[in-house]
Amino acid sequence: MTPHGMLGAFRSHAFLQGLSERQLMALGAGARPFTAQPGDYLAREGQTAQAFYLIQSGHVELQTMLPGTEAPESPPGAWPEMKPVTIQVLGPGEVVGWSWLVEPHRWRFDARAADVVQGLVLDGDWLRELCESDTNLGYQILKYLVQVLSERLTATRRRLIRDIPVADDGPETTSAVEETFGSGRCEEFFAER
């Protein structure tokens, strides 16, 4: 991709809007295009995080593994089977990866292509060095990433709340939500959302 093509790709990406042309050119020097096919993983939870992805088209599912239900034939005390749970689906204009910035630089979620995904990828080590040498650019990226972290935390919280079982078996059974938030607070909690 030519420098002008890279600059245009950056300008069109929502995450980087508001950066100066000089900052965009600096980032463009380290970016390369990528394509992921459906089912490909951009990141695996627990593995070293070495990339920062800017999604231009397609969708990426952020997933984590949670215990499923035990099979009826499982021996007592057996570990339940793990199943992937989608926390959030990301699309054009969004980013995958903040773990390249935060030690110990390990992915916190799986990132799996839901369909054909195209975009730009930056090397995490290179980007950390650039952010340290150009502190103004580093601060701008950090501000954007804090917003991303906030959105991921909110999506995770919503997913957990959606999956909390709520019993409706009368006064003898207390729902998991009431146990967590206190008696009588369940309806108030969900009304605020």
pLDDT digits over 157-176, tens only? 887 777 655 444 444 334 44
What are the residue boundaries of the structural domains of the chain, listed by start? Answer: 3-66+80-168
**Closest-CA residue to 61 (of 86, 35, 85, 41):** 86
Res. 72 pLDDT band, cuts 50 70 90? low
pLDDT at 177 over 50: no
- In this structure, CATH architecture of domain 3-66+80-168: Sandwich (2.60)
pLDDT digits over 28-53, tens only? 889 999 999 999 999 999 999 999 99
pTM: 0.74
Query: ∠48-149-33 over CA atoms, to 5°?
Result: 55
Q: Give Cβ neighbours of residue 189 (< 8 Å, ≥ 6 apart).
A: 177, 181
pLDDT digits over 73-132, tens only? 656 666 667 788 898 999 999 999 989 999 999 999 999 999 999 999 999 999 999 999
Contact indicator for 85, 109 with CB cutoff of 8 Å: no
